[in-house]
């Protein structure tokens, strides 16, 4: 059994989506001056690897504490879309035998580029691709950048996906080969529009 960490490490230098705050980790107690080391952590709800809740883009959407646990764990497939370009369309997905109830992670050209500075040309799911995933009836989708939709685009793709499945963003799939795995990515139980998550794949 091999465990692969597909989470982005949270630090003050992590890339963030424009307009989102950078994490602040402040150590307020320090050995030997105090008996223990302790810190405060301030991060945006969409920092690094995270799961979106309906509340993120829907006025009356569900919060992150209401996401079904079964959508955070189970067999998944990592799909190789590194040659699909920046727009993941229906035509890129329809030959991949996507089945109802699956957990699907999209490894795109994002995984072939750098993660040190934010890029607004990141690969994303196009409207036709989102409609196809909804038609397939998958339960969870994950992508290898900070948003599932095009940079600065309308929220229609985001709304469509989040209304029909659980959405993970900010997965680190750089070292992951396409194939089948067990997916585990539990966020904190927070009543919020999103929550950072520790995501792993288990290869057996």
Q: Which residues are catalytic?
A: 56
Beta pairing class for 87-88 and 124-125: parallel
Query: Which positions ≥6 away from 85 have C-beta within 8 Å?
Result: 109, 123
CA pseudo-torsion sign 167, 74, 60, 188: negative
**Residue 147 to residue 122: CA distance in whole angstroms:** 9
CA atoms within 13 A on the CB side of 84: 26
CA pseudo-torsion sign 27, 28, 32, 36: negative
Q: Which pair of tokens denotes residue 122?
A: 């990141």
132: left (phi over 0), alpha (psi -120 to 50) or beta: alpha
């Amino acid at each position: 059994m091999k465990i692969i960490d597909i989470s982005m490490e949270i630090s003050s230098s992590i890339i963030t989506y424009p307009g989102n705050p950078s994490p602040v980790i402040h150590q307020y107690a320090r050995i030997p001056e105090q008996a223990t080391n302790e810190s405060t952590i301030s991060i945006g709800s969409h920092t690094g690897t995270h799961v979106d809740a309906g509340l993120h883009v829907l006025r009356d959407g569900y919060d992150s504490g209401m996401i079904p646990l079964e959508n955070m764990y189970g067999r998944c497939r990592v799909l190789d879309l590194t040659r699909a370009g920046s727009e993941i369309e229906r035509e890129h997905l329809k030959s991949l035998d996507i089945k109802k109830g699956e957990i699907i992670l999209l490894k795109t050209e994002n995984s072939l580029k750098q993660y040190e500075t934010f890029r607004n040309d990141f690969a994303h799911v196009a409207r036709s691709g989102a409609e196809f995933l909804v038609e397939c009836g998958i339960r969870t989708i994950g992508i290898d950048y900070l948003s599932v939709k095009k940079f600065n685009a309308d929220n229609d793709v985001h709304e469509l996906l989040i209304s029909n499945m659980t959405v993970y963003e900010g997965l680190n799939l750089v070292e992951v080969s396409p194939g089948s795995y067990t997916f585990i990515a539990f966020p904190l139980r927070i009543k919020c529009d999103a929550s950072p998550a520790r995501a792993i794949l288990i290869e057996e």
